[in-house]
Structure 1
Amino acid sequence: MRAIEPIKDIAPPASLGPVPELRWLPIASLVVDDAYQRLIGGRGRFLIQKIAREFSWLKFAPVVVSPIAGGVYAIVDGQHRATGAASIGIGEVPCLIIQADAQQQAKAFSAINGQTVKMNRQQLYHASLAAGHPDAVATDRAAREAGVVIVRSAKTAIQLKPGDTMACGTISQCVAKCGHERTVIYLRAVRASEGTHCSALLAQIIVATANVLDNRKEWRRDARLYTAFEAINLLDALEKAKAEAARRKVVRTTDLLEATLVTHLDAFFKRTVAA
């Protein structure tokens, strides 16, 4: 656990504004000002359905509202949450009541929605893992067994140390498609190709490796597999595949990388058998 550590030397604003009030309000008393609020489109409707289906007070943040004429409250933030709650028959929701005119409401809406730090995929994955989500737990188990660390924040390829990866989504998909055991083999194979400075555990490399080995059972079961991967620089192969894909424009980088990997493994296993 971390305590809140204030940042020093920040000058406070001249006014903090009226102190807000927390109160439960009937959803029937909440209205939406279309002048600054977003219309509920396809994505918004999907979000509302998800909120309703998975509703829990543990995940419900107070709706920010402001009193207006007629004894009702304009929603500043939370129309999707309020609509989701109403959709499953909930009559009242907790609200944070602020005192603001129409212009101030619009400014508050922009500030609340614009100043939120968006969570990246790695942060969402680690939050799901902490919550015990089965997909995240399965992904973590495969990564750990392969000696792979899923980092918590976005990094450049150069910043990733050997064994580090941001490709939590790719690994999750691999576990779902190929199962735990094969995913571990594929991750270990990629790890074997790494040097001492950078990670090769990039999404395109993992996908190409999984596709190739999934189609060649005899290779993934061969005791020489990791030795074969030690003999190829997958990062270099990826860069060459990207350049060739950009030049040809009609072929995918992953397809070219897979072709390079097939050529290398086929030659390696034939050569070592002949030796």
Structure 2
Amino acid sequence: MAKKTDVTVEEKLRALYDLQLIDSRVDEIRNVRGELPLEVEDLEDEVAGLNTRLEKLDADLEVIDQDINTKKNLIEDAKASIKKYTEQQKNVRNNREFNALSKEVEFQELEIELAEKQIKEYKAQIEQKKEVIEQTRERLEERKNHLNHKKSELNEILSETEKEEKALIEKSKEFEKQIEERLVKAYKRIRSNVKNGLAVVPIERGASGGSFFTIPPQVQMEIAGRRKIITDEHSGRILVDEDLAKEEKEKMNEFFSSF
């Protein structure tokens, strides 16, 4: 194969237009996928977040259960103390001792009352958290199903297009090697600055492809001569003549149809 320096302007133009056709085909494939990969990623994050929330809610329930058991033990201890103080009251020697024990009994009764109130509150919290857990599980199940559907949709598209996209990207790199670096950089810069990614366009009905700006006849003749690389003064796109574009499209369509 000839060195890059030996490549004619026409060959460069053909290589650039072929590169454009390949990259546009890759753009089409990626447009078919659209926002699906991002949707799948967002759904995966949401599912992970819901699982984390469920784990925290379950952990909260365990803590509340432990708190209830602690209060139940406190009640049992308080009842045992009341029984002990009541027995001691039978053997007191004076009113002062009796009153002191009565105060201990009263304090333990208040402890029992407070613990029972707290247990009631804990049980209400459990019911509330169980309701939230149920809602979260329903949401998680719905999101999982949606995620599986989107993953299936994405995998189906990937299975249809992955092989073609990979081959096209490799082909794109091959064409880049046939073009001098400054032209490849210019091509990529133009591509990144235009909405549709078209950096190389043919002349159509006297205007650059996709625009309404007419190309002067003299410039059209120069483009058809294929002796220098000419850009559109309005959009900055590289221009090729209609015949060259047609020939390269036919050639590349054969390549695309092989997938």
Question: Normalising by structure 2, what TM-score?
Answer: 0.20
| Structure with the larger RCO, 1 or 2 (CA within 8 Å, 6+ apart) | 2
Indicate the structure with greater helix content: 2
Which one has the bigger strand percentage?
1
Could you say which structure has the larger radius of gyration? 2
- The TM-score normalised by the length of structure 1 is 0.20
